[in-house]
A and B are shown apart, each in its own frame.
Chain A
Amino acid sequence: MADVIVLANADERDLRQLAEYRAVGGYTQLERVRGLEPAAIIDELNTANLRGRGGAFFPSGRKMQFIPPKEQIPKPHYVCVNADESEPGTFKDREIMNRVPHRLIEGSLIAAHAIDSQHVFIYIRGEYLDAFETLRTALDDARGAGLFNGVTVVLHRGAGAYICGEESGLLESLEGKRGQARSRPPFPAASGLYASPTLINNVETIATIPKILELGGAEYAKIGAPPDSTGTRLFCLSGNVVKGGNYELPMGITIREVIYDLGGGIPDGRALKAVIPGGSSMPILTADQIDVPLEHDALRALDTFLGAAAVIVVDDRACMVQLGLRVAQFYMHESCGKCTPCREGTRWMVQLLEAIEAGDATHSQLDLLLDVCDRILGKCLCPLGDAAAMPVASYVVKFRDEFRAHVDQGGCPFGGESSLEDLFAPVDQHTHHPVAEVPA
């Protein structure tokens, strides 16, 4: 029972309906905590050891404590809910907004109370039209029921840019600009939206808050893999697996259990080759590493991360050079262009991977590729460049023989039979129709 937190009761009832959500205790925590000091809420989240579900795993209570009191910075305080879920492999926030929108709204209003804010912005990715409409209806219902208590909640649609899921890109975009990363410091807690103190949290993080307050932080902290990886995650299972989808489970379940017990294994009688544990930006694991529990510390020990808990399964038909190329093309396309190592480095990565795949590369260029990755890592204003460099470097290191075979054979050893053969990247599409070509 306690194993389902964020999606609790969503299988039995239509929790998009306000009355249904209230029937399972919805909004009672909001009403209760409005009578409490904000510090009491934050203490409970710290006891629960809630960590950011967007990928960074930062302690959520501590993030709230970074917001200075209004006496110190006499400006409005803002809550920004990051619903710009765009990392390839992740589709959990979509499920939360589609199925338990009121839990997200309740969590947002509790977060607003916790930082003494009257203003909530929910930045939802533009591609999520259905979730946008569901959330808009839920917001209208909650507002109509008088639950906002003077707080304004603005639902803001993005327009297609991965970088706007990065907190500073999100703030720029919400201010009506190109979504380019900001230099930090100042950090959003002191100077975020409209240069005011701003709390930014992922949808899943916010949607977990009401249940933590209902259970109590200490009870919540027993779920999952304490002390660091407490609670549940919505694991997004995709790739070469029979039953892809979202599975809410306590942290600490192994990758093997997720793939074989829940996901029904690998289809078409194929063999498992690799698993990406947290979304496309995360270093890859090989088939012999899947007994690792999906929790922070165990994955760190294998030099990867839980990220946004997106488990991407790769079977033996996939060429790892092609996988690396497609990942690099994505981040090249999504680089905002502000920092040179990311803007130029991702292009260079793509060129090297194209040469390797075509059989035109030398062995030394495999090391050059790793060197380019190294010269991006940690050298930019935001982690987008890292998101390209980390996974691709891991493919080269872990599947070095396959990369070498491309060089030795003068082409792809899969001979056109890879599952990712000729996968189209929209960067090519842009060269057909450059956006600058506006008819007079």
Chain B
Amino acid sequence: MARPLADEVRAIAEQYPESTSAVLPALRIAQERHGGWLPPEALEEVGEALDLTPAYCKGVASFYDMFHLAPVGRRLVEVCTNICCGLRGAQDVLQAFERELGVQPGETTPDGAFTLRAVECIGGCGWPTVVAIDDRHRLNVSAGDVPGIVQELRGG
């Protein structure tokens, strides 16, 4: 049985002089507990724990790219398409994922297994293309690596 969200959030909030500072960590925990996104009840829980309105929490969450206000797949595949990766073929990598997963960037596979996203620079520019899978970076990914990666993620 997981610790109640409010307890965990309040413990984090104690590290800060003002409890509102715990909004980002609280939203992250709530998102993890709600299948990778923030449904309205998650925003209510965070608000409750930190004495904030759900609207405030949504206002904050909507500012940050790593919070999702719509459902996402069980695995998040994110391909950097900023200039450094782009100069080295990021679009080929992205297109390979589109082919393998059968979805466009921003979409989730019908079985709910994967969400494919293109993302702005995630800070691995010297090792293009950088692909983040559930926030773990894979470096030097080429289009030819993609079928193997997808097979591995499917457990095959």
Q: Are A and B co-members of a single complex? A: yes
Contact check, A330 vs B121: say whether CB atoms are below 8 A apart: yes
Q: Within the assembled complex, what's the spacing in Å between the Cα atoms of A236 and B64? A: 26
Q: Does B94 contact A (CB under 8 A)?
A: yes
Contact check, A176 vs B82: say whether CB atoms are below 8 A apart: no
Q: Does A417 contact B (CB under 8 A)?
A: no
Contact check, A246 vs B120: say whether CB atoms are below 8 A apart: no
Instruction: Select one of B15, B60, B123 contacting A128, CB under 8 A.
Output: B123
Q: Across the interface, which residues of A come within 8 angstroms of B113, CB to CB?
A: none
The smallest C-beta distance from B54 to any residue of chain A, in angstroms, reads 11
Contact check, B83 vs A159: say whether CB atoms are below 8 A apart: no
Contact check, B120 vs A334: say whether CB atoms are below 8 A apart: yes
A-B contact count (CB 8 A): 190
Q: Across the interface, which residues of A come within 8 angstroms of B23, CB to CB?
A: 176-177
Chain A, residue nearest B82 (CB): A88
Q: Within the assembled complex, what's the spacing in Å between the Cα atoms of A200 and B90? A: 34
Q: Does A205 contact B (CB under 8 A)?
A: no
Q: Within the assembled complex, what's the spacing in Å between the Cα atoms of A433 and B86? A: 23
User: How many residues of chain B get a CB closer than 8 Å to chain A's CBs?
Assistant: 58
Q: Within the assembled complex, what's the spacing in Å between the Cα atoms of A236 and B117? A: 25
Instruction: Select one of A127, A238, A323, A430 contacting B125, CB under 8 A.
Output: A238
Instruction: Select one of A88, A159, A315 contacting B28, CB under 8 A.
Output: A159
Q: Across the interface, which residues of A come within 8 angstroms of B120, CB to CB?
A: 88, 162, 330, 333-334, 426
Contact check, A156 vs B94: say whether CB atoms are below 8 A apart: no
Q: Across the interface, which residues of B come within 8 angstroms of A246, CB to CB?
A: 126
In order of increasing CB-CB distance, the 9 nearest A-B pairs are A160-B65, A244-B126, A176-B20, A159-B64, A160-B66, A238-B125, A176-B23, A429-B106, A88-B121
Would you give 25 A-B contacts (Cβ < 8 Å), ordered by A?
A: A86-B123, A88-B121, A88-B125, A89-B121, A91-B125, A94-B123, A126-B64, A156-B21, A157-B28, A160-B64, A161-B64, A173-B24, A177-B60, A236-B125, A239-B84, A280-B82, A327-B83, A336-B63, A421-B91, A423-B83, A424-B94, A424-B118, A426-B81, A432-B104, A432-B107
Which A residues have a C-beta under 8 Å from some C-beta of B?
Answer: 76, 85-91, 94, 119, 125-130, 152, 154, 156-162, 173-179, 194, 236-240, 244-246, 280, 310, 312-315, 318, 323, 326-327, 330, 333-334, 336, 419-426, 428-430, 432-433, 435-439
